[in-house]
Amino acid sequence: MADIDLRSDTVTRPSEEMRRAMYDAEVGDDVYGEDPTVNRLQERVASLLGMEEALLVPSGTMANQICVHVLTDPGDEVILERGSHVYNYESGAAGLLSGVQLHPLAGDRGRLAPGQVKAAIRPAADVLPKTRVVSVENTANKAGGVVYSLDRIQAIADVARSHELHLHLDGARLWNAAAALEVDERDLAAPFDIAWVALSKGLGAPVGSVIAGPSALIEKARRTRKQFGGGMRQAGILAAAGLYALDHHRPHLAEDHEKARRLAEGLAELPVFSLDPSQVDTNIVIFEVTTASAAEVVETLEGEGVLLTPFGPNTIRATTHRDLSMTEIQRALATIRQHVDRLREVAPS
């Protein structure tokens, strides 16, 4: 029986219909701006986010780093939440590629608050870095797929605007945030100078993210993409997967949230785990292990065909996605229940 892979929503594989769309894609040289399928994808995402233009890039990390680069000068500072992807999972790229430093703040369930952003803004002084950007990750991955409300985003934007700061949106899972709040993505992106969304996470495409913003910033982003090695040629084969996902997968994201809540409810019933199912906003479940290390638990369950991600010494992440049915979620819970005793046995003395 196949493994039940809850490590990430990036483990999805293209469906046969998506593969067919990729095979049939009309292509051209995108570096020349001549790939019609890439152009259609960029126009579609720009429209969905309410922006003037958009740009396809290979990965979410490249998307974040391009956004940081076009909004800053070397020596500037970026305010963000300390659990953010830019701060934790991009190999120090902001310093390497853009010469900026990051100012991490401890937020509420991974979310910045307007007051703490205001307090973190540097006063003007020659000896201090210049605060230039506020970066928001929606949903907040490391906090468990937590969603920023429209009101909180607008309040942070008001602080940023009053201090002439730029706003960057890491929208890797913005599709999930919109589905959870039952709003349009453009409503969540509206306050930001530049934003990006992933195609390769909840939407299930194999590769790609799309940056969106005003034409002047996207022109700069296109040049930066080339400098960072992200120019692609007949990329319409990849763009076709993204277009298919927007049409056929995006409407079903709420189903992944239902699977995550069911998983959380089942895990909360087991004494070896600690979590609050009411805190599950989208498709990510973060839970604590009370009897062993996360690595030991993950290894034990991997041997039984349930794959999870260790997210700290005693913390585990499970992520639901379109390639797993509710039946498989139930089967994963049944497997975990069967091995609760073994999980207790591996507890350190």
Backbone angles phi and psi of 12, in degrees to 5: -65, 155
229 and 68 in contact (C-beta within 8 Å)? no
Concatenated DSSP letters of 40-52: HHHHHHHHHHT-S
Region for residue 144 given its phi and psi (left: phi exceeds 0; alpha: psi -120 to 50; beta: otherwise): left
State the pLDDT at residue 203.
Answer: 97
Q: Tell which CATH classification among 3.40.50.40, 3.90.1150.10, 3.40.50.2300, 3.30.300.30 matches the domain 252-345.
A: 3.90.1150.10
State the pLDDT at residue 345.
Answer: 57
State the pLDDT at residue 349.
Answer: 43
Residues 6+ apart with CB under 8 A from 262: 326, 329, 330, 333
State the pLDDT at residue 341.
Answer: 67
Residues of the chain with CATH 3.90.1150.10: 252-345
144 and 111 in contact (C-beta within 8 Å)? no
**pTM attached to this predicted model:** 0.95
State the pLDDT at residue 273.
Answer: 96
Stretches where the chain sits below pLDDT 50 are: 348-349
Residues of the chain with CATH 3.40.640.10: 16-248
State the pLDDT at residue 291.
Answer: 86
State the pLDDT at residue 185.
Answer: 98
State the pLDDT at residue 343.
Answer: 63
Per-residue pLDDT reduced to its tens digit, 48-89: 999 999 999 999 999 999 999 999 999 999 999 999 999 999
Residues 6+ apart with CB under 8 A from 61: 85, 89, 90, 93
Average pLDDT, the chain: 96
Q: Class assignment of domain 16-248?
A: alpha beta
